[in-house]
Amino acid sequence: MGDPLPPDVQAAREALDEGRAWQARERERRIGAYYKVVGATVFALGALFAPFSFEPLWRGRGLGGLRLGLMVAGALLVLGVALWQRRRLFRRLGVEPDALWGVPAGARWSVVLLTVVSVAVAVEASRPDLVTSLALGGGALLLALQAARSRDAAHAGLALALGAVAIMLAFVRGSSWPVVAALLAFGLAMALTGRRRARSPA
Amino acid sequence: MKAAWSGLDPALHAPARIAIASRLVAVERMRFAALRDATGLTPGNLAGHLEALERAGYVEQRDAILSLRRGRLVAMTPRGREAFDAYVRALEALVADLKAQRAG
């Protein structure tokens, strides 16, 4: 049964619906581009830190402040890139946090928890720490649940990366390499997912 | 297309112009060629609609170099963004009214 609207109004409404569908496709493409850039930045940070994880001075006496300073500088760099890209890509188009990260409003606290735990890992990664490991494992579980809920490969990749680092941290002593592994895995998972989403015909 | 409804902006009340505006409001600016691909309009048709929208003060066009390539850039003006928002609201209200009238 046809829509009982005048032809010009009907045509205008169809054009508007088609325009909104284009905006949805463009938003999805830009989310992919956002993941690619932020993921590549995290990966580059991990690659930059990698040599230091094998350097005794990195975890030696008197250089703890340097390590912490570099970690903080790296975190600020990633945050800056993420904010800049978000403004650049979504200033006009707009994007809901749920669409960008797949994190429903009720679970935002988990992002805060993961951030705090990540900082703790960065500072404390030079020794086995069961508490940190369990906290990271909890974060991995949250991400895995989110991945199952939204069939989102990004969260599945991040959950695997976080889970692997949580297991490493429970047993490994004397190195910051789990942090480097986490950064590399996080960055790669995000960048690859972004590449796939940017091509998505959705 | 001639506007049959006094509440709708005649400068925007055409499927091709709605297609153009719904792309341009989502970006800062867009290459002419990208806008052509996104709307599916022919270059001549697109240029004609853009000229009309430019005369209404809704879009601006300029030649520029972007990402090392020269081309014509098209952008929606603040006035154009406001006009399109108002047009969408008016169209949705009109559709709701017409449906209510037919149902009642």
Q: Identify whether B22 is part of a domain.
A: yes
Chain B residues within an 8 Å CB radius of A6: 4-5, 98
Query: Residue A97: which pLDDT band, with cuts at 50, 70 and 90?
Result: confident
What b/e string do you get for B20-33 counting C-beta neighbours within 10 Å, with b at 16 or more? bbbbbbbbebbbbe
pLDDT range class, residue A65, cuts 50, 70, 90: low
Structure confidence at residue B68 as a pLDDT band (50, 70, 90) = confident
Q: Measured between CA atoms, how close is B87 to chain A, in angstroms? A: 10
| Residues on chain A touching B1 (C-beta within 8 angstroms) | 8, 11
User: What distance in Å separates the CA atoms of residue A198 and residue B82, rounded to the nearest whole number?
Assistant: 30
Count of A-B CB contacts under 8 Å: 63
Q: What's the longest Cα–Cα distance across chain A?
A: 79
- Domain span including residue A154: 7-199
A55 pLDDT exceeds 60? no
Domain membership of residue B46 (yes or no) is yes
The predicted structure's pLDDT at residue A185 = 73
Contacts for B75-83: CB closer than 8 Å, 24+ residues apart: B75/B24, B75/B28, B75/B29, B75/B30, B76/B21, B76/B24, B76/B25, B80/B21, B80/B24, B80/B25, B80/B53, B80/B56, B81/B25, B83/B9, B83/B11, B83/B12, B83/B56, B83/B58
Put simply, the answer to whether B99 touches A4 (Cβ < 8 Å) is yes
Contacting A with CB below 8 Å, chain B residues are 1-5, 8, 13-16, 18-19, 21-23, 25-28, 38, 88, 91, 94-95, 98-99, 102
Q: Does residue B71 contact residue B86 with C-beta atoms inside 8 Å?
A: no
Lowest mean pLDDT of A68-72, B14-18, B83-87, name the range: A68-72
pLDDT for the residue A201 = 47
Residue B4 lies in a domain: no
> Are B28 and A16 an interchain contact pair (Cβ–Cβ within 8 Å)?
no
Rounded CA separation B91/B97 (Å): 10
* Cβ neighbours, 10 Å, residue A194: 21
Identify residue B53 by its one-letter amino acid code: L
The rounded mean pLDDT for chain B is: 90
**Is B98 within 8 Å of A13 when comparing Cβ atoms?**
no
Beta carbons of B91 and A9 less than 8 Å apart: yes
As for how many domains chain B has, the answer is 1
Q: Are B54 and B60 in contact (CB under 8 A)?
A: yes
Residue B56 · residue B86 · CB < 8 Å: no
The CATH number of whichever domain residue B48 belongs to comes to: 1.10.10.10
Q: What is the pLDDT of residue A202?
A: 41
Closest chain B residue by Cα to residue A12: B15
Q: What domain range includes position B62?
A: 15-103
Mean pLDDT on B53-79: 90
In single-letter form, the type of residue at position A51 comes to: P
Do residues B75 and B58 touch, judged by C-beta distance below 8 A?
Answer: no
Q: Does any domain span residue A2?
A: no
CA distance A110 to B3: 52
> Which of A1, A3, A9, A14 should we substitute to test contact with B (largest number of B Cβ atoms within 10 Å)?
A9
Confidence class for position A125, pLDDT limits 50, 70, 90: low
Nearest to A9 among B2, B5, B21 (CB): B5
Tens digit of pLDDT for each residue in A135-157? 667 767 766 776 666 666 666 77
pLDDT for the residue numbered B51: 96
Q: Which amino acid is it at A185?
A: A
Q: Give the number of C-alpha atoms closer than 13 A to the C-alpha of residue A47, restricted to the C-beta side.
A: 8
Structure token digits, residue A150: 């939204």
SS3 B2: coil
Distance CA B69, CA B67 (A): 5
How many structural domains does chain A have?
A: 1
**pLDDT band (50, 70, 90) for residue A62:** very low
Testing the interface with A: which of B49, B98, B102 to mutate, by most A Cβ within 10 A? Answer: B98
Please report, for chain B, how many H helices and E strands are present, in that order: 4, 3
Report which of residues A12 and A67 the model is more confident about.
A12
Instruction: Specify if B5 maps to a domain.
Output: no
Residue A1 lies in a domain: no
Distance CA B30, CA B76 (A): 9
Instruction: Please answer yes or no on whether B13 and A8 come within 8 Å at the CB atom.
Output: yes
Name which residue leads in pLDDT, A106 or A180. A180
DSSP code of B40? T
| pLDDT 10s digits, B56-67 | 999 999 998 877
Which residue in chain B is spatially nearest to A27 when comparing CA positions? Answer: B26
**Is position B25 within any domain?**
yes
Judged against a pLDDT cut of 50, whether residue A93 lies above it is answered with yes
Place of tokens 């879009």: B59
Q: Is it the case that residue A130 has pLDDT exceeding 80?
A: no
- The answer to whether A19 contacts B22, with C-beta atoms less than 8 Å apart, is yes
Q: What is the pTM of this model?
A: 0.74
Kindly indicate the confidence band of residue A41, based on its pLDDT and cuts at 50, 70 and 90. confident
For residue B59, being part of any structural domain is answered with: yes
* Percentage above 90 pLDDT, chain A: 11
* Mean per-residue pLDDT over chain A, rounded: 73
Nearest to A6 among B4, B27, B38 (CB): B4
Closest C-alpha to B28, from A40, A91, A194: A91
Which of B1, B88, B98 has the CB atom closest to A5's CB atom?
A: B98
Q: Cβ contact (<8 Å) for A5 and B15?
A: no
